[in-house]
Structure 1
C-alpha cells in the first residue's frame, strides 16, 4: 500500500480516521449545497426569461387589440363626420387629400426642412 500518506509510526487511530471522514462529509455537504444554490440561480434566470416572454406576448396581444379597437373607432368617427359634415367641407377635404397624395414627396421634404429648421433654432437657443 504505497498510496498511504502515513509512515508506520504515524498510523492514525480509529478516532482520527472517523474525524477525518466526518470532516470530508461536511466539506462534501457544503459543496453540494453550493452547487444546489447555483442550480437555483440558473432556475430563477430561466423562470425570469419565461415570464418575460409571457409578458411580452401578452403586451403584443393587447397592443394588437388596442390597434384594432382604434381602427374601428376611427372608422366610426370618420363615418359620422361624413354623415354630419356639410358638403363644402367634404369637398375641400377630398381635394386636400387628393393633393396630398399627388404631392406626397414634396410635402414630406418640406416637413423635413421645417423640422430641421426648428431643431437648429432650438439648439442655438441653448
Structure 2
C-alpha cells in the first residue's frame, strides 16, 4: 500500500476518509480544468484578442481626450495671437482698412459683394475650424522659424 503524504493527517474514521477523498477529487477536478483551459488555444487567443481590444479602446479614448485638450489650447493661443495682432495695428492702418471696406461696399458689383458676404458668413459659421487651422499654421510657422 501507499503511504499518506507527511503533511496530511491520516483519517481516524471512515467518514473522515470519505471527506478527504471528496476533497482530493475536487482539487483534482480543479487542476484538470486549469490544465484544460491552458491547452485551449482558441479560447486563450480570444481572451488575448479581447484584452488587446480593450487596451486599444482605452488608448484611443485617452488620445481623443488629449487631442481635444490640445485643440482647445491651440484655439485659445490662436485667438490670443489674433487679438495681439489686432492690438498692434496702428490707428492709421485701422482707419485705412475701414475706408477700404467702405469703398468696397460702394464700388464692388452686387454679385461680387453677394459672394463675398456668403464667404464671410461661411467663415463665421466655421470659426472654430478656421481658428484651429490658423493656430496650427502659426505654431508650425514658429517651429520652422526656430529650426532655421
TM-score (norm 1): 0.49
Normalised TM-score (structure 2): 0.43
Q: Which has the higher contact order (CA 8 A, sep 6+)?
A: 2
